[in-house]
């Protein structure tokens, strides 16, 4: 197992399923697994000719394009480290991430990305654009290097090669650099393939950005190593108006998304239903807690089981998942059983807690990074007692299913009562007129902390604070009812759609004394 490499798994899939569809750009062209592998090797030869050496970091910033997929895998193929970046970053953000990753080259689309170009210029990092015109052409680089495939064929990828460098979301602290090896990635995609029983008969449409571990590992790479097919939206990003068209056209059997995207898909279904929907094996939800009410609506609307999962960048994505119906029961409110690694609930002394006892969720396995880059303080707190400490509080029930209570830093301590904001979120989202919601703690003289929340009403609906509080009183214990409700039209989110609880709390706390709450960014 410890000799597993992601590139080896991709090569095997190309050999086993050479003529099956691997990657499509919606409405434009399709690539088979054999074609894709040839394009990757050729692009890797161009990078080698450009002076990229094993261990060098190559940053990439693209929308969800075929060029991003090919160049990402080409970087890994030549034993370098890929660092995909959000194309929506500001110049200052690009400067931070390029500098922190010590990137030697930045790859961009032919049309360019001005803030990225400005940052690369300031840091004296070479900038190269990549283009693939159609399925019968090869990748061309603006630097026009020579190609020598023999140099690629001489390279042997090692399981210890650092293949991917990502940063944590930074929602509770400064983003931390996470190096992931070929072994980490290969192990994780095999775990994903196993738990969802992915085969060459499967097909999915990419919903999430590929610069994030969720879309990259769960959507793209797990499909490719299974010999399955992946479709990229023509616009280079998720679009509710074309999602089901693509799902039907490309015979999709599943998709994975964050709760915010699931809500958008549901809203679209309720306002503009499709004439027909594809028969899906399952729908997957990850990266944030999915409210039970949303899960039930998804299953009722699309006739497929919804499988909640639990993941982190440090674990190369997947840590736990609810199983397919044929493999075990789905437990509403849980994020499933551990997948492919050990998991334990530890107390502050590092002692394993018995079933149904709260503590910190900790894991260890071949998919887990060995540590953050150049961050001894973070490593000291996150890697203790032989385990990676996730920072999440939860418990394993008697059947081995994990239930999350909340982030250690986000738990609300109201007069000694520890309240999970995730639980309050779920209640709020059960209100028929609430589209999005988030609960958070604020300082309180009497109780130490008190609960507040922010909600976005459904389109065309007017919500009052009293409506929400009255609903909560009927559905949750009195001490968990939000003391203050902010009705807004926007909640800040990460690039993958996860609501940034800390930023919401800071914003509304600062505006609490105002008669009218201004919009974010106003």
Q: Which residues pair with 311 in a beta bridge?
A: 318
d(CA 245, CA 219): 18
DSSP state of 389: E
Indicate the number of domains in the chain: 2
DSSP state of 172: S
Residues 452 and 485 sit within 8 Å (Cβ to Cβ): yes
Model confidence over 49-94: pLDDT tens digits?
999 999 999 999 999 999 999 999 999 999 999 999 999 999 999 9
Question: Does residue 156 share a domain with residue 38?
Answer: yes
pLDDT band at 242; cut points 50, 70, 90: very high
Residues 345 and 352 sit within 8 Å (Cβ to Cβ): yes
Instruction: Supply the pLDDT for residue 427.
Output: 93
CATH number of the CATH domain containing 56? 3.40.50.12780
Question: Does residue 498 share a domain with residue 469?
Answer: yes
Question: Does residue 308 share a domain with residue 258?
Answer: yes
CATH number of the CATH domain containing 481? 3.30.300.30
Question: Does residue 214 share a domain with residue 74?
Answer: yes
Model confidence over 472-508: pLDDT tens digits?
999 988 999 999 999 999 998 887 778 889 899 988 8
Domain boundary among 359, 393, 427: 393
Residues 446 and 473 sit within 8 Å (Cβ to Cβ): no
Model confidence at 514: pLDDT above 60 = no
pLDDT band at 45; cut points 50, 70, 90: very high
Question: Does residue 449 share a domain with residue 345?
Answer: no
Question: Does residue 443 share a domain with residue 389?
Answer: no
Does 517 map to a domain? Answer: no
Does 1 map to a domain? Answer: no
Does 353 map to a domain? Answer: yes
Model confidence at 201: pLDDT above 70 = yes
Model confidence over 88-114: pLDDT tens digits?
999 999 999 999 999 999 999 999 999
Mean pLDDT estimate for the chain: 93
Domain boundary among 393, 421, 452: 393
Cβ within 8 Å of residue 156, ≥6 positions away: none
Question: Does residue 383 share a domain with residue 451?
Answer: no
Does 185 map to a domain? Answer: yes
Does 479 map to a domain? Answer: yes
Q: Which residues pair with 388 in a beta bridge?
A: 363, 383
Question: Does residue 160 share a domain with residue 36?
Answer: yes
Does 214 map to a domain? Answer: yes
Ramachandran region of residue 496, left (φ > 0), alpha (ψ -120 to 50) or beta?
Answer: alpha
The residue range of the domain holding 116 is: 6-393
Question: Does residue 427 share a domain with residue 355?
Answer: no
Question: Does residue 43 share a domain with residue 122?
Answer: yes
Q: Percent of the chain scored above 90 by pLDDT? A: 81
Model confidence at 171: pLDDT above 70 = no
Question: Does residue 271 share a domain with residue 227?
Answer: yes
Does 369 map to a domain? Answer: yes
d(CA 450, CA 121): 48
In the numeric block, which tokens belong to residue 334? 């849980």
Question: Does residue 421 share a domain with residue 481?
Answer: yes
Model confidence over 352-388: pLDDT tens digits?
999 999 999 999 999 999 999 989 999 999 999 999 9
Pairing of strands 29-32, 21-25: antiparallel
The pLDDT of 462-478, averaged and rounded, is 93
> What pTM does this model have?
0.87
Does 339 map to a domain? Answer: yes
pLDDT band at 513; cut points 50, 70, 90: low
């Amino acid at each position: 197992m410890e000799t597993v490499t992601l590139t080896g798994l991709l090569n095997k899939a190309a050999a086993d399923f050479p003529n099956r569809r691997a990657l499509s750009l919606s409405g434009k062209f399709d690539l088979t697994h054999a074609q894709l592998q040839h394009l990757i090797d050729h692009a890797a030869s161009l990078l080698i000719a450009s002076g990229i050496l094993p261990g060098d970091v190559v940053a990439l910033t693209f929308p969800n394009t075929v060029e991003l997929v090919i160049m990402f895998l080409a970087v890994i193929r030549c034993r370098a480290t890929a660092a995909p970046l959000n194309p929506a970053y500001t110049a200052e953000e690009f400067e931070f991430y390029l500098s922190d990753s010590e990137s030697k080259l930045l790859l961009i689309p032919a049309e360019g990305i001005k803030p990225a170009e400005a940052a690369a210029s300031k840091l004296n990092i070479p900038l190269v654009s990549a283009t693939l015109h159609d399925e019968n052409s090869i990748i061309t680089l603006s630097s026009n290097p020579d190609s020598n495939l023999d140099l690629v064929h001489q390279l042997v990828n090692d399981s210890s090669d650092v293949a991917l460098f990502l940063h944590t979301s930074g929602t509770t602290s400064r983003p931390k650099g996470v190096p992931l090896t070929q072994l980490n990635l290969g192990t994780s995609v095999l775990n994903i393939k196993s738990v969802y029983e992915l085969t060459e008969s499967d097909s999915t449409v990419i919903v999430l950005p590929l610069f994030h571990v969720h879309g990259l590992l769960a959507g793209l790479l797990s499909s490719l190593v299974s010999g399955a097919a992946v479709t990229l939206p023509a616009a280079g990003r998720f679009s509710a108006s074309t999602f089901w068209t693509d799902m039907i056209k490309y015979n999709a059997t599943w998709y994975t998304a964050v709760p915010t995207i699931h809500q958008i898909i549901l809203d679209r279904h309720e306002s503009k239903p499709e004439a027909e929907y594809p028969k899906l094996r399952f729908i997957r939800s990850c990266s944030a807690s999915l409210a039970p009410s949303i899960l039930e609506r998804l299953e009722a609307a699309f006739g497929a089981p919804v499988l909640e999962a639990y993941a982190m960048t440090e674990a190369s994505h997947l840590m736990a998942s609810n199983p397919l119906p044929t493999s075990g029961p789905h437990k509403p409110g849980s994020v499933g059983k551990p997948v492919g690694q050990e998991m334990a609930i530890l107390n502050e002394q590092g002692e394993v807690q018995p079933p149904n006892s709260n503590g910190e969720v900790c894991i260890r396995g071949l998919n887990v990074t060995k540590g953050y880059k150049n961050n001894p303080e973070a490593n000291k707190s996150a890697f203790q007692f032989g385990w990676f400490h996730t920072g999440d509080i939860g418990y394993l029930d008697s059947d081995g299913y994990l239930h999350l209570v909340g982030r250690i830093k986000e738990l609300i301590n109201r007069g000694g009562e520890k309240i999970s904001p995730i639980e309050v979120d779920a209640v709020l989202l059960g209100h028929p007129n609430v589209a999005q919601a988030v609960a958070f703690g604020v300082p309180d003289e009497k109780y130490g902390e008190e609960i507040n929340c922010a909600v976005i009403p459904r389109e065309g609906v007017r919500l009052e604070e009293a409506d929400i509080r009255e609903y909560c009183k009927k559905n949750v214990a009195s001490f968990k009812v939000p003391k203050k409700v902010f009705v807004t039209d926007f909640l800040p989110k990460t690039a993958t759609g996860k609501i940034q609880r800390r930023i919401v709390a800071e914003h509304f706390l600062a505006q609490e004394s105002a008669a009218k709450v201004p919009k974010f960014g106003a």
